[in-house]
């Protein structure tokens, strides 16, 4: 065969391949079912053509128009959001800067490019619009006056002795509230323009029904008023979004920076870092611990403790816990309370704050029940050591570690993989007892990320899901009936579809259902997906390396931004609330009498 | 323009048919223009930098050759190479050097404030085309003075095409003068299996990149390296194995597409990989991994330093220095310095032991056990050293290394698809090479429509199973 003949044969092969390949590329356009493997769809960058325009994409819209889109840069993240600590420090003054308040421009965020959003094709259903926030826009508040007024509300710091504080709303404050002007009948107005913009997040106000956060804001007002020993307590349940403490850590930092640090709060004594983590505190466990959580179950009784994590020591074991660093030293903790299980054959647990005489607690009982032991350390201790004797199993739900106050504690009860279904693994009475003991002022429930596959949400109207969701929230509230309640939606979740990342369609339904549940339960509501930027936002966060490739989780930096966005909304709502309830800020309750040291259960 | 995209497929098809459709005298024009257009598609702003390097190498080669009979040959070579290295130094290393200089000044108690180079995007492929150009200039310099037949390329356009030939432009293989220029001089016709084998390599490369590298990058590597503290030690270890495979499938996939694309023009490019993770010594690893870079540093750095014939410790010095240069070639960071240093030490240990036992690298091992422990040791050295390759700085590398020590007896949390991809990827890597050859020849014997079916199948799988993202090849940044 001559070289030319060989060459021509090869060219013929190339032509045949090209023809066949092009035919196969066109084939999916003839088969509607094969849409997913069509090489290109309207809405995607026009192949080859878009290259002619550097850094821009040529996109054909559904109506056949070609539009040029600037590609998103990775440098859009403002410097203040690069690091949680830096952001917290830099952002705090903003909340009180009237100029910033008026300069915030949500409209700019609204117009941010939405790369992941695909234009609906004519045959597609238009996306269900996200329900507008229930709260109407409030009239502008005189924030300058508020700014001036707030410091005056703070009395001089009291050098009060350490004292435990119950979470019940102070009668003085309640009385003051009852004399206050009638609460508005409509949902409480929250001014959107008071919220700073933290790209790529979108300022998103809390949706608060009338009086929906009164208990919580009252507790915050008491802390702000430096009421001796008062600690405002929030308990935040959730799934993996909360499990790593990224979001809650930021909210905690923001609130403690303003209202005082109440300490780490409730902590399981031993965790498996795959399912729960709490950066910033030290929790060093040795010995034969077995940790079980509500996601995977496995505990011999349906008792998983307040955090949904229960640790059992089967021999001699130790766990040393301490709070965050304050300069060179550790934070001084003044109140410890062990949540444990009394059980047949139970061994002894030894609780010893550092430099303080410890106490031995037998956990032996004829039948399984919850038990608690509280102790106050007036001089403070940097850490607490929990040791088990080894003569029998010792089951511990966790330990409360608090400062002498006043301040805020934001408990983080996230377990990776958690859902309404797994939350039901908890015994009802047990869960209520645990919450009652902790007595939070605010119950935060942020679930749903692992529930998008539930048939009721995915394909149904969501009624069945709503009922189970409401039942779960109601159970949590049963433990703290006077506490406020805040329901938070899951963050945006994406799914890959060809070259785009789209929001999971079930999220619209989920958010609609959760919002309705919040209204029916009288809980406040916060749309976390809206805070991310609404549908399709996961793609934008991923582009900025603020989300993981699983399109489900945000990175620590991403969670920090969302945490700031929630804190912004919370603080703004509080500032607006306190303007309407000045008596709450002035009414400093007498130190609570609850929380006596000793064993109970 | 990334290789595994419709953009590239259109571009390649268009260029191939245009190339074979125009009369022979115009084919070089088609190749040259398409190559420049290919590079401009990344960023037209940086095109002049590449063209400057092309111009310096071409003119420098002519100058060196024209003056070859006169004294000062070494100086002329140094001048040309210095000019060639200037853009690389300026765009890639200046900021790093500046930072370190400022840090040293601060330690010494003085203040140094050096300007920085701000780039909107990384300068794609600058290390590759700079090394390509340097190799050409040195090859011209090495032409014997009395050899009047060989010489530099006098035609600027042909030289530019040689340097910018798009399949190898941004990530190699690094091509030598005698490997590509003769082919461009002849512009060979297509041979019997050029099309079939070229397409096979392109399809294989696409599959490696889209179905293995990208999937495990998104599913394992990126999340773990982003926040290693959130993962258990077994998960971090799996991420290291995954990254090791990702890097091979990413770069190996790119090289496959490059070699395959060139074959459609009748041009053969050198191979860059030979199942690198089967190596039983670190020295052997570098004979299988990024072969054209290893050969480059051997011929243009290691040998000129004295190579392995240097007396005593100097061989080891040369080895370590060469590997550090390979490390720094990858990026301006202390990570890469340490990476190169570690590999240099490991290769020196290999060399020392081989000298001591009188064994040559190619000698067969006595039994499977001897192979197994050597392989396991080498493989895990490579895997662990990858921490330095992937982590952004030494502190992050240290954090990752420390997190490996926190052993938790728990099964790593990755999705079944990602696990399957990882296992299949390694299984394919460790299958006998003859299986791959058999599969390739089976493909080439089929009708072109079957080739099209296979290609479309890989594309469809990429859309269904792949990440759906256009992730850049890791080596483009170098």
> In sequence order, what DSSP letters do the residues of B340-392 get, joined into one string?
HHHHHHHHHHHHHHHHHHT--TTSPPSSHHHHHHHHHHHHHHHHHHHHHHHSS
> What pLDDT score does A417 carry?
84
Nearest-CA distance B185 → chain A (Å): 17
Strand partners, A379: none
pLDDT in tens, chain B (478 residues): 788 888 899 999 999 999 999 999 999 999 999 999 999 887 788 899 999 999 999 999 999 999 988 888 899 999 999 999 999 999 888 888 998 999 999 888 888 888 888 776 667 888 889 999 999 999 999 998 887 788 899 999 999 999 999 999 888 788 999 899 999 998 889 998 899 999 999 999 999 999 999 888 888 888 788 777 777 788 889 999 999 999 999 999 999 999 999 999 999 999 999 999 999 899 999 999 999 999 999 999 999 888 877 777 888 899 999 999 999 888 888 999 999 999 999 999 988 888 888 777 677 777 888 889 989 999 999 999 999 988 888 888 887 888 787 666 667 778 888 899 999 999 999 998 899 899 999 999 999 999 999 999 999 888 877 555 555 555 555 4
pLDDT band at A95; cut points 50, 70, 90: very low
- Check CB contact of A53 with chain B, cutoff 8 Å: no
Rounded CA gap, B233 and B409, in Å? 9
Token couple for B145: 């003075």
SS3 A244: coil
Closest listed residue to residue A19, CA positions, set B441, B194, B263, B13: B13
- Whether the upstream peptide bond of residue B210 has omega within 30° of 0, thus cis, is no
Closest by CA position to A589, among listed A235, A60, A168:
A168
Interface test with B, best of A9, A29, A48 (most B CBs within 10 A): A48
CA within 13 Å, CB half, B393: 2
Find chain B residues with C-beta within 8 A of A17's C-beta: 195, 199, 448-449, 451-452, 455
Q: What is the pLDDT of residue B476?
A: 53
> Of residues A378 and B362, which shows the higher confidence score?
A378
Closest CA to B254 of B3, B463, B426: B3
| Both structure tokens of A46 | 């026009």
Pick A580 or A76 by higher pLDDT. Answer: A580
* Triad B463, B464, B467: Cα angle to 5°: 65
Name the residue among A19, A39, A51 with its Cβ closest to that of B41.
A51
Note the maximum CA span of chain B: 73
Q: Can you read off the two tokens belonging to residue A203? A: 């300022």
**What is the C-alpha separation between A58 and A50, in angstroms, rounded?**
5
- Would you say residue A287 has pLDDT above 80? yes
> What confidence score (pLDDT) does residue B247 get?
92
Q: What is the pLDDT of residue A126?
A: 35
Nearest residue on chain B to A277, alpha-carbon basis: B230
Q: How far is A111 from chain B (nearest CA, A)?
A: 24
CB A443 within 8 A of CB A410: no
Tell me how far CA of residue B282 lies from CA of B231, B349, B374, in angstroms: 29, 9, 10
Bridge partners, residue A362, by sequence:
A348
H or E segment to which residue A258 belongs: helix A246-259
Tell me the shortest Cα–Cα distance from A560 to chain B, in angstroms.
Answer: 14
Cβ <8 Å between B20 and A548: no
- How far lies A475's CA from each of A245, A485, A517, B268, in Å? 24, 12, 14, 72
Within 8 A by CB and 6+ apart from B370, the residues are none
- Whether A549 and B218 lie within 8 Å, measured CB to CB: yes
Six token digits for residue A18: 């090209």
Decide if B217 and A555 are in contact by the 8 Å CB cutoff. no
Instruction: Give residues 54 to 113 of A whose Cβ lies within 8 Å of B.
Output: 54
Between A134 and A480, residue with greater pLDDT: A480
DSSP state of B306: T
CA–CA dist B456, A25 (Å, integer): 7
Q: What residues of chain B lie within 8 A of the CB of A54, using their CB?
A: 43-45
Q: B252 Cβ partners below 8 Å, 6+ apart?
A: B205, B208, B272, B273
User: What contacts A167, CB < 8 A, 6 or more positions away?
Assistant: A219, A231, A233, A438, A439, A440, A441, A480, A483
| Alpha carbons B385 and B377: distance in angstroms, whole number | 12
Cβ–Cβ of A272/B16 closer than 8 Å?
no
For B272-282, b/e burial (b = at least 16 CB within 10 A) is bbebbbbbbbb
**With a CB-CB cutoff of 8 Å, which residues 246-285 of chain A face chain B?**
272-274, 277, 279
Residue A562: both structure tokens together: 């969302």
User: What is the least distance, in Å, from the CA of B110 to any CA of chain A?
Assistant: 28
Give the model's pLDDT for residue B322: 93
Residue A143, pLDDT above cutoff 70: no
Structure tokens at B84: 């060639």
pLDDT of residue A329: 76
- Spatial CA neighbour of B213 closest among B3, B376, B14, B53: B3
Active site residue B447: no
Global pTM value: 0.68
Q: In whole angstroms, give the CA distance from residue A169 to residue A167.
A: 6
Pick the more confident residue, A333 or A459: A333
- In the set B330, B357, B380, B429, the catalytic residue is B330
Q: Assess whether pLDDT exceeds 80 at residue A443.
A: yes
Strand, coil or helix: B261: helix
Q: In chain A, positions 518-547, which contact chain B (CB-CB < 8 Å)?
A: 545
The predicted complex's ipTM stands at 0.87
> For the packed helices B416-430 and B233-263, what is the interaxial angle rounded to 10 degrees?
60
Distance CA A352, CA A373 (A): 12
For A318, phi then psi, to 5°, come to -135, 145
Model confidence at A77: pLDDT above 70: no
Query: What size, in residues, is chain B?
Result: 478
Q: Residue A322 forms beta bridges with which residues? A: A282, A383
CA A121 to chain centre: 35
Distance set, CA A156 to CA A151, A224, A590, B348 (Å): 10, 11, 15, 70
In this structure, the strands spanning A329-330 and A407-414 are unpaired
Instruction: Give CA–CA dist B329/A186, Å, rounded.
Output: 66
Please indicate whether, in this complex, the C-beta atoms of B468 and A499 are within 8 angstroms of each other. Answer: yes
- Residue that is written with structure tokens 């931004």 in the block: A561
Interface touch B223/A549, C-beta < 8 Å: yes
CA dist., res. B292 & res. B175, Å (int) = 7
Q: Given this model, what pLDDT does residue A185 score?
A: 43
Residue that the structure tokens 């050198």 belong to: B270
Residues of A in contact with B5 (CB under 8 A): 47
Side-by-side strand order, sheet with A524-526: A407-414, A231-238, A442-446, A484-488, A524-526
Report yes or no: A574 and A207 within 8 Å, Cβ to Cβ: no
Closest chain B residue to A556, measured at CA: B227
Paired residues of A488 in beta bridges:
A526
User: What residues does each domain of chain B span?
Assistant: 6-186, 194-280+365-465
Cis upstream peptide for B98 (omega within 30°): no
Which among B1, B194, B222 is the nearest to A51, CB-wise? Answer: B1
CB contact under 8 A, B222 and A16: no
CB A562 within 8 A of CB A554: yes
Residues of chain A with pLDDT > 90, as a percent, come to 48
Q: What is the dihedral of CA B178, B180, B185, B186, to 10 degrees?
A: 110
What mean pLDDT, rounded, does chain A reach? 77
Partners of A369 in the β-ladder: A342
Q: What is the DSSP letter of A462?
A: S
pLDDT at A54: 52
Q: Residue B20 and residue A11: Cβ atoms within 8 Å?
A: yes
Contact B459 A39 (CB under 8 A): yes
Q: Who wins on pLDDT, A182 or A220? A: A220
Q: Residue A379 — very low, low, confident or very high, per pLDDT cuts 50/70/90?
A: very high
pLDDT value for A52: 67
Chosen for mutation from B38, B263, B463, B471 (greatest number of chain A CBs closer than 10 Å) is: B463
**What band does A154 get if pLDDT is binned at 50, 70 and 90?**
very low
> What integer pLDDT is reported at residue A173 of this predicted model?
40
- Whether A51 and B7 lie within 8 Å, measured CB to CB: yes
pLDDT of A204 > 70? The answer is yes
User: How does residue A76 score in pLDDT terms, banded at 50, 70 and 90?
Assistant: very low
Q: Do residues A246 and A228 lie in contact, with contact meaning Cβ atoms separated by under 8 Å?
A: no
Each residue's pLDDT tens digit, A292-306: 988 888 888 999 999
Neighbours of B248 (CB within 10 A): 21
Give the residues across from A317 on adjacent strands.
A287
Nearest to B260 by CA among B247, B269, B252: B269
Question: Would you call A548 and B223 a contact, using CB atoms and an 8 Å cutoff?
Answer: yes
Find chain A residues with C-beta within 8 A of B464's C-beta. 36-37
The residue with tokens 């079980």 is A292
Measured CA distances, B36 to A50, B32, B33, B57, B212 (Å): 17, 6, 5, 16, 30
Contact A195, A100 (CB under 8 A): no
In this predicted structure, the answer to whether residue A585 has a pLDDT above a threshold of 80 is no
- How much of chain A is helix, strand and coil, in % rounded to 5? 35, 25, 40
Backbone angles phi, psi at A534, to 5 degrees: 85, -170
Query: C-alpha distances in angstroms, A329 versus A235, A321, A383, B129, B476?
Result: 27, 14, 11, 55, 47
Lowest mean pLDDT among A405-409, A474-478, B123-127, B150-154: B123-127
pLDDT (mean) for A23-50: 82
CA distance to A268, A555, B240, B283, per residue, from B373 (Å): 44, 39, 20, 16
Task: Decide if A479 contacts A493 (C-beta within 8 A).
Answer: no
CA distance B268 to chain A (A): 15
What value does the mean pLDDT take over residues A225-229? 91
Count of other CB atoms within 10 angstroms of residue A265: 28
Nearest-Cα distance to chain A for B23, in Å, is 14
Element of type H or E holding B51: helix B47-66
pLDDT at A588 over 60: no
State the DSSP H helix or E strand holding residue A411, giving kind and residue range, or none if neither.
strand A407-414
């Amino acid at each position: 065969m001559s070289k030319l003949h060989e060459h021509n044969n090869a060219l013929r092969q190339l032509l045949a391949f090209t023809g066949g390949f092009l035919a196969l590329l066109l084939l999916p356009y003839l088969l509607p079912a094969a849409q997913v493997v069509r090489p290109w769809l309207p809405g995607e960058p026009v192949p080859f053509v878009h290259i002619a325009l550097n850094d821009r994409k040529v996109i054909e819209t559904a109506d056949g128009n070609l539009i040029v889109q600037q590609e998103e840069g990775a440098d859009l993240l403002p410097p203040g959001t690069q690091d949680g600590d830096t952001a917290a420090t830099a952002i705090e003054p903003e909340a009180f800067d009237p100029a910033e308040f008026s300069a915030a421009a949500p409209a700019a965020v609204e117009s941010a490019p939405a790369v992941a959003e695909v234009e609906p094709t004519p045959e597609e259903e238009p996306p269900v619009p996200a329900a507008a926030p229930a709260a109407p826009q409030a009239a502008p508040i005189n924030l300058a006056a508020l700014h001036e007024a707030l410091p005056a509300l703070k009395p001089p710091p009291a050098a009060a002795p350490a004292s435990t504080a119950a979470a019940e709303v102070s009668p003085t404050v309640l009385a003051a509230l009852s004399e206050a002007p009638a609460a508005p009948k409509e949902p409480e107005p929250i001014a959107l323009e008071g919220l700073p913009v933290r790209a790529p997040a979108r300022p998103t106000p809390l949706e608060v029904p009338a009086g929906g956060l009164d208990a919580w804001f009252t507790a915050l007002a008491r802390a702000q008023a430096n009421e001796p020993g008062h600690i405002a307590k929030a308990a935040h349940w959730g799934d993996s979004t909360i499990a790593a403490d990224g979001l809650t850590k930021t909210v905690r930092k923001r609130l403690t920076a303003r209202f005082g640090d109440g300490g780490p709060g409730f902590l399981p004594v031993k965790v498996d870092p795959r399912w729960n983590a709490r950066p910033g505190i030290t929790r060093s466990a040795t010995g034969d611990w077995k940790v079980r959580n509500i996601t995977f179950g496995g505990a011999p009784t349906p008792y998983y403790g307040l955090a949904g994590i229960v640790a059992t020591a089967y021999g001699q074991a130790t766990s040393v816990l301490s709070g965050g660093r304050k300069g060179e030293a550790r934070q001084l903790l003044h109140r410890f309370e062990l949540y444990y299980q009394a059980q047949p054959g139970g061994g002894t647990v030894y609780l010893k704050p550092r430099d303080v005489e410890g106490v031995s607690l037998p956990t032996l009982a004829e039948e399984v029940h919850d038990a608690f032991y509280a102790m106050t350390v007036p001089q403070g201790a940097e850490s607490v050591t929990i040791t088990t004797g080894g003569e029998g199993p010792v089951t511990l739900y966790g330990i409360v570690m608090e400062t002498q106050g006043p301040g805020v504690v934001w408990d983080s009860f996230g377990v990776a993989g958690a859902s309404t279904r797994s939350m039901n693994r908890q015994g009802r009475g047990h869960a209520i007892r645990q919450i009652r003991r902790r007595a939070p002022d605010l119950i935060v429930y942020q679930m749903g990320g692992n529930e998008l596959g539930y048939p009721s949400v995915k394909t149904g109207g969501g009624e069945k899901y709503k009922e189970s969701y409401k039942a779960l929230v109601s159970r949590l509230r049963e433990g703290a009936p006077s506490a406020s309640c805040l329901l938070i939606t899951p963050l945006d979740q994406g799914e890959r579809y060809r070259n785009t990342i789209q929001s999971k369609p079930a999220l619209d339904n989920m958010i609609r259902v959760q919002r309705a549940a919040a209204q029916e339960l009288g809980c406040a509501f916060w749309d976390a997906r809206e805070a991310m930027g609404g549908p399709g936002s996961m793609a934008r966060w991923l582009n900025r390396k603020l989300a993981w490739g699983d399109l489900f989780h945000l990175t620590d930096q991403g969670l920090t931004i969302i945490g700031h966005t929630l804190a912004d909304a919370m603080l703004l709502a509080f500032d607006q609330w306190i303007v309407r309830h000045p008596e709450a800020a002035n009414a400093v309750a007498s130190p609570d009498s609850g929380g006596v040291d000793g064993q109970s259960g | 323009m990334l290789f595994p995209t419709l953009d590239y497929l259109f571009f390649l098809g268009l260029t191939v048919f245009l190339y074979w459709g125009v009369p022979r005298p115009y084919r070089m024009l088609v190749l040259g223009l398409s190559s420049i257009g290919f590079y401009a598609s990344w960023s037209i702003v940086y095109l002049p930098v590449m063209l400057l390097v092309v111009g310096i190498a071409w003119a420098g080669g002519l100058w060196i050759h024209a003056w070859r009979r006169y004294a000062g040959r070494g100086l002329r070579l140094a001048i040309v190479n210095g000019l060639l290295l200037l853009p690389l130094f300026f765009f890639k290393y200046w900021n790093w050097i500046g930072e370190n200089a400022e840090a040293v000044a601060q330690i010494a108690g003085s203040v140094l404030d050096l300007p920085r180079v701000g780039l909107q995007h990384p300068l794609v492929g600058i290390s590759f085309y700079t090394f390509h150009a340097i190799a050409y200039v040195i090859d011209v310099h090495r032409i014997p003075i009395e050899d009047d037949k060989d010489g530099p390329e006098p035609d600027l356009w042909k030289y530019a095409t040689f340097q910018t030939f798009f399949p190898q432009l941004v990530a190699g293989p690094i091509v030598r003068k005698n490997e590509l220029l003769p082919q461009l001089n002849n512009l060979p016709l297509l041979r019997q299996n050029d099309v079939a084998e070229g397409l096979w390599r392109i399809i294989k490369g696409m599959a490696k990149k889209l179905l293995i590298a990208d999937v495990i990058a998104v599913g394992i590597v990126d999340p773990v390296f982003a926040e290693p503290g959130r993962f258990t030690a077994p998960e971090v270890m799996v991420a290291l194995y995954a990254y090791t495979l990702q890097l091979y499938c990413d770069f190996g996939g790119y090289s496959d597409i490059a070699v395959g694309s060139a074959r459609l023009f009748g041009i053969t490019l050198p191979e860059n990989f030979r199942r690198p993770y089967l190596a039983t010594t670190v020295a052997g690893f570098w004979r299988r991994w990024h072969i054209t870079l290893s050969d480059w540093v051997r011929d243009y750095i290691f040998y000129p330093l004295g190579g392995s014939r240097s007396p005593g410790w100097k061989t080891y010095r040369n080895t370590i220095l060469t590997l550090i240069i390979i490390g720094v070639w990858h990026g301006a960071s202390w990570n890469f310095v340490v990476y190169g240093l570690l590999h240099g030490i490991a290769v020196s240990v290999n060399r020392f032991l081989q000298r001591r036992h009188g064994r040559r690298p190619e000698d067969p091992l006595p039994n499977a056990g001897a192979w197994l422990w050597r392989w396991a040791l080498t493989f895990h050295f490579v895997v662990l050293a990858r921490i330095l390759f992937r982590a952004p700085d030494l502190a992050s590398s240290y954090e990752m290394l420390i997190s490996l020590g926190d052993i938790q007896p728990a099964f790593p949390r990755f999705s079944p698809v990602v696990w399957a991809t990882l296992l299949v990827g390694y299984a394919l890597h460790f299958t006998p090479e003859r299986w791959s050859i058999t599969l390739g020849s089976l493909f080439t014997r089929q009708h072109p429509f079957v080739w099209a079916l296979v290609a479309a199948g890989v594309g469809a799988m990429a859309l269904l199973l792949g990440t759906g993202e256009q992730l850049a090849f890791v080596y483009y940044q170098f």
